[in-house]
Amino acid sequence: MEIIDGVREDMQARQARVSLAELQEQVKQVPPALDAWAALGGPSAERPDLKVISEVKRKSPSKGDLAGISDPAALAVLYRDGGASIISVLTEERRFGGSLADLDAVKAAVDIPVLRKDFTCDEYMIWEARAHGADLVLLIVAALSDEELRSYLALTHELGMNAVVETHTAEEIERAVAVDAKIIGINVRNLKTLDVDRSVFAALAGKIPAGAIVVAESGVRDASDVTHYSENGAHAILVGEALVKDSTPSERIAEFKAAGALAISAR
C-alpha cells in the first residue's frame, strides 16, 4: 500500500531521534496497559450490549477534512461520558492529520483503554505505542505478511496490550484466525477504491469463530447502520466520522449503544 511508504518514512525519522533501545527503556516506566479485551466484553458468551470504539479523527483520504479537533482530550472525555468502551486515536499524519501528541493527550484525559490507530509496519511502532501509553494497536492483515502478523501480535501480547486485527476478505479472516487473533475487525471500506459496502460485513462476520470479538469498522452513519451490524454479529463498532462531525457525540454514542443492544437482544 502506498500509504505504508509514507508511514515507514515518518517512522524512520522518529527512530533517528528516539532509538528502539530508548523506547524500550521508556516502556519500563509506563503503567501497565488497560485490559481492552475485558472492556470489549472479554470471554462473555452473552455480550448483551454493543461496545463502541470512538475515534479521534481529523480527516481521511476518502473524505478530506472532517473536523478541526483543537482539543482531542476534551473530545475523548465526551466519548467516554457517552459510554464509549475504547478511544481510538489516529496517529498517522500525512493523510489523517493525527499525531502521537494526540495519543498522549487522550491517554492523559481518560481512564478507559486507548487504541493507537495507525498502519503498523514495524515492531518499532508497537514499542512506540506502548511507550506513549497505548493499550491496543491496529494490525492490518492486508499490509502484513503472515510472519509479521504473527510476530507483531505476539509482541503486542508480550507488552500486555491487545490488538485489533483488521480484515477485509474471507482470506484475511482465515489469516487472522490462524494467528489466534481474539479481536477481529471487518472493515467494509475497499482499500483500493475507498468505497464502502456495508453488505460485506454480513457476508464475512459468520466466518469469525465463536469466542473472538467481532468489530464492525467503517460505514456507520446513523443508528440504522448500527442495527445492521449488530443484527449480523458485531460485538463492537468502530466509528469516527459520524462522531467527529456531530455536535453532541456523547448523545450519539448513547443512541448507537441503545440501537445495538436492541438488535443484539433480538438476534
| Side chain identity at residue 38, one-letter code | A
Which residues, at least 6 apart from 250, have a Cβ–Cβ distance to it below 8 Å?
Answer: 78, 79, 81, 82, 83
Cα separation, 106 vs 264, in Å, equals: 30
Whether the pLDDT of residue 45 is over 60: the answer is: no
- Cα radius of gyration (the chain): 17
| Grid cell of 54 as nine digits | 470512538
Whether the pLDDT of residue 230 is over 80: the answer is: yes
Q: What is the pTM of this model?
A: 0.95
C-alpha distance across the termini of the chain, in Å: 37
Categorize the per-residue pLDDT at 46 as very low, low, confident or very high, splitting at 50, 70 and 90.
low
**Three-state SS for 189?**
strand
Q: What percent of the chain has pLDDT over 70?
A: 98
- Mean pLDDT, residues 105-123 taken together: 98
Q: What is the pLDDT of residue 96?
A: 94
Whether the pLDDT of residue 135 is over 90: the answer is: yes
Cα separation, 254 vs 120, in Å, equals: 31
Q: How far does CA 154 lie from the centroid of its chain? A: 18
- Mean pLDDT, residues 176-190 taken together: 95
pLDDT tens sequence across 51-74: 999 999 999 888 888 888 999 999
Q: What is the pLDDT of residue 44?
A: 62
- b or e along 135-153 (b: 16 or more beta carbons within 10 Å of the residue's beta carbon)? bbbbbbbebbeeebbbebb
- Mean pLDDT, residues 164-169 taken together: 97
Whether the pLDDT of residue 196 is over 60: the answer is: yes
β pairing state of 59-60 and 64-65: antiparallel
Q: What is the pLDDT of residue 63?
A: 82
Q: How many helices (H) and strands (E) does the chain have?
A: 12, 10
pLDDT tens sequence across 94-106: 999 999 999 999 9
Task: Name the helix (H) or strand (E) containing 28.
Answer: helix 20-28
Which residues, at least 6 apart from 259, have a Cβ–Cβ distance to it below 8 Å?
Answer: 50, 223, 224, 226, 227, 230
Beta bridge partners of residue 89, listed in sequence order = 56, 116
Whether the pLDDT of residue 24 is over 60: the answer is: yes
Average predicted confidence (pLDDT) for the chain: 94
Whether the pLDDT of residue 47 is over 80: the answer is: no
What domains, with CATH codes, occur in the chain? 2-265 (3.20.20.70)
Whether the pLDDT of residue 191 is over 60: the answer is: yes
Beta carbons of 236 and 85 less than 8 angstroms apart: yes
Centre a 10 Å sphere on the Cβ of residue 10 and count the other Cβ atoms it contains.
Answer: 15
Whether the pLDDT of residue 224 is over 60: the answer is: yes
Beta bridge partners of residue 120, listed in sequence order = none
Beta bridge partners of residue 128, listed in sequence order = none
Instruction: Give catalytic residues, as residue numbers.
Output: 55, 57, 117, 166, 187, 217-218
Whether the pLDDT of residue 185 is over 90: the answer is: yes
Categorize the per-residue pLDDT at 38 as very low, low, confident or very high, splitting at 50, 70 and 90.
very high
